[in-house]
Structure formats: C-alpha cells, structure tokens
C-alpha cells in the first residue's frame, strides 16, 4: 500500500507539470508558471501537514498545521490571481480547485512510513 500511495503522489506531480507545460501556448507565461509551481506547493503543504501529524510532537503539529495552511493559501491565491485553469479533454478545472486536489493528495496519501523516509 505504501508504494501505491507513493505512486499516486508522483502521478499527481507529473500530471500537474505536464498539464502546465502544455498550457504555455494557450495562456500567459505567468499563468503557466503558476500552474507548474502552485500545485506542487499545495501538494507539499498537504504532505508536510500529514507528516507533522504522523511523527511530530505538539509544537511540530502546530507548526505543520500553520505551514500547511499557508502553503495551501499561497497556491490558491496565486492560481486565482493568474486565472490558471486545467483542461483535460472536455473537462476544465479551475486552478484553485486543482491546487486543492493536490493538497488532498498530499494529505490523504502520505503514510507514517513516508514521514520517516521509508518508501519500501
């Protein structure tokens, strides 16, 4: 199960990067750059939040919660400001929703073994 969750993490990051790179011709450069970085920041925040809950003491849990919320807020505001959106065939997802999905992927699919840097 640990490897499946790690694969889901990697799949989200790779899909986010590929979709942002393919958008370079269709939208502004600043929106495409936010499309590369903001979903990764949101994913990082969710994963870090889960990691702080898995292995942290009380202060680390509070700091992890605050950092996770800050990283999510930065990514949401950034993609909203640049009007970034993801288009997969006929489905169009706004940038903030795409970032929130990344946050959830990081939060829900991080395990205690991932927090301890054990991916086997």
d(CA 64, CA 49): 5
Provide the whole-model pTM.
0.87
Cβ(97)–Cβ(36) below 8 Å: no
Residue ranges of domains in the chain? 2-20+30-112
Band of residue 118 on the pLDDT scale cut at 50, 70, 90: low
Mean pLDDT over residues 31-40, rounded?
A: 89
SS3 118: coil
Residue 69 has pLDDT above 70, yes or no: yes
CA distances from 50 to 26, 37, 62, 112 (A): 35, 20, 12, 8
Of 73, 103, 100, 95, which is closest to residue 28 (Cα–Cα)? Answer: 95
For residue 1, what pLDDT is reported?
Answer: 66
Counting residues of the chain whose pLDDT is more than 90, the rounded percentage is 38
């Amino acid at each position: 199960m640990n490897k499946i969750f790690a694969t889901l993490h990697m799949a989200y990051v790779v899909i986010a990067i590929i979709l942002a790179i393919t958008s370079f011709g269709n939208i502004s450069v600043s929106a495409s750059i936010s499309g590369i970085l903001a979903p990764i920041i949101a994913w990082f925040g969710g994963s870090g939040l889960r990691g702080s809950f898995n292995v942290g003491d009380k202060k680390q849990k509070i700091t992890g919660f605050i950092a996770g919320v800050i990283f999510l807020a930065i990514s949401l505001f950034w993609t909203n400001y640049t009007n970034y959106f993801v288009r997969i065939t006929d489905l169009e997802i706004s940038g903030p929703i795409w970032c929130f999905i990344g946050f959830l992927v990081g939060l829900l699919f991080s395990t205690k073994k991932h927090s301890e840097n054990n991916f086997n």
